Structure 1
């Protein structure tokens, strides 16, 4: 029997590894939040203070300086480490993950220009775990709903991404991946040259991503020995995306949803028959 507590804890542990890595990355480059930095609050605050300089966020301005955010990131690291020692279903564990969620929300006020789909997925998972594991008020049914929500959201994300690629001429023509690898931000000179040399490989990779992302929800209803192919594909896809493009946050955010997909797949026969 698959235990909901174990699935929830596994989701949290995998996600926490990714959050710890991304938080340490922010600590390493914390000067980007300095007054002259790329994510200076002098600029970021304009989103919140266009009409009124005395906005709700005014008391928090000092926190969004480089030293203030460094302190916030250090606290976040301590919260993540603490979650390794306290189960999610315990009162202490729930308080720790709630504080972790607060730290993510606060930091998002100044990092919104650099956020991506992995940040949204991470925040969604954190909020779901908080709401579905409230001590003394949470039932097994509510935890069940939370796990289903995480797994279904992952499948929806893949399918939407696949359909978006399907309607793109660049992806259908088989040039998109080569073009991405040719960029400065997410590119790789070696990978770009390799795909230029073998255009058929580029077409195969493009259509491989389109097809697998679009039909990814099949992993929920197929027998496990076939469904696992989708999860292996997802692992390889995100691993090489992280390796070549540097998008390691996507790897951990989506790997954290795979235990939920595993749970749904093993529950599905009870709903179909």
Structure 2
């Protein structure tokens, strides 16, 4: 199969669910290992076991349902999604996968995966819309303040980027425009694969610059649903 054929190929619903479960097991296991170093074994040891079962394809849908229930326990234990967007996306993916496994017919299974795909697209578009109507993002001041004042940069040397306003202005608008036009990638299989590569690069840069590594892994977990969704609607 040529490179172009790979980019144009889609996924079945079953394949999308399989890939999501493998990626999700890795992402959640990584988070769980971080917590085990601090304690909380009552929640995170079972979480690791469920991730292993899901990665190996053992137990059918039970590991997915188990992780969903475990995630509910985490929401109670930490009084909400303490990692913000990454925890919300984790719960969204687990909820949609759980519903897909519970679906009585292929139609309802597809509805669960479609909902996840639409939410993923909206996560980019809405983020871009919030930025484009914000004067600080329009002028580049928002990124400047992030590098100058926030606790995010993982290296103090990154603070010097605040002294390059033109660079931050261009980068800020590049992010805004990419997020706003992201839904258009659904019109073409190759465009979608390239858009997802760009999006993954964006999340990777956030992990490197700001230490937001969980966003990188968990957003990747939802990508198979969007690849399947595009093939379904075209």
Residue in 2 that maps onto 1:148: 114
Deviation at 1:24, TM superposition (A): 1.3
Superposed CA deviations along residues 5-37 of structure 1, whole A, max 9, x for unmatched, are 11111112112211111111122233xxxxxxx
Residue in 1 that maps onto 2:16: 7
Residue in 2 that maps onto 1:19: 28
Residue in 2 that maps onto 1:210: 176
- Choose from 198, 213, 219 the match for 1:248: 213
- Choose from 50, 62, 72 the match for 1:105: 72
Residue in 2 that maps onto 1:132: 100
- Any conservation in 2 of the 1:128–1:150 contact (CA below 8 Å)? yes
Question: Which one has a larger percent helix, Structure 1 or Structure 2?
Answer: 2
Residue in 1 that maps onto 2:201: 236
RMSD over aligned Cα, in angstroms? 1.8
Structure 1 residue 74 and structure 2 residue 45: aligned?
Answer: yes
- Any conservation in 2 of the 1:186–1:245 contact (CA below 8 Å)? yes
The separation in 1 between residues aligned to 2:182 and 2:87, in whole angstroms, is 21
Tell me the SS of whatever aligns to 1:96.
Answer: helix
Counterparts in 2 of 1:113 and 1:268: CA distance versus 1, 3 Å:
closer
Tell me the SS of whatever aligns to 2:196.
Answer: helix
Rg: which structure is higher?
1
TM-score normalised per structure 1: 0.76
Any stretches of 5+ residues in structure 2 without a counterpart?
A: 1-9
Size of the aligned set, in residue pairs, is: 223
The separation in 2 between residues aligned to 1:214 and 1:189, in whole angstroms, is 31
The separation in 2 between residues aligned to 1:252 and 1:179, in whole angstroms, is 26
The separation in 2 between residues aligned to 1:177 and 1:261, in whole angstroms, is 29
Deviation at 1:228, TM superposition (A): 2.4
- Any conservation in 1 of the 2:11–2:224 contact (CA below 8 Å)? no
TM-score normalised per structure 2: 0.88
The separation in 1 between residues aligned to 2:32 and 2:148, in whole angstroms, is 28
Superposed CA deviations along residues 182-236 of structure 1, whole A, max 9, x for unmatched, are 345312422221x234322101111111111122111222x22222231121010
The separation in 2 between residues aligned to 1:237 and 1:104, in whole angstroms, is 27
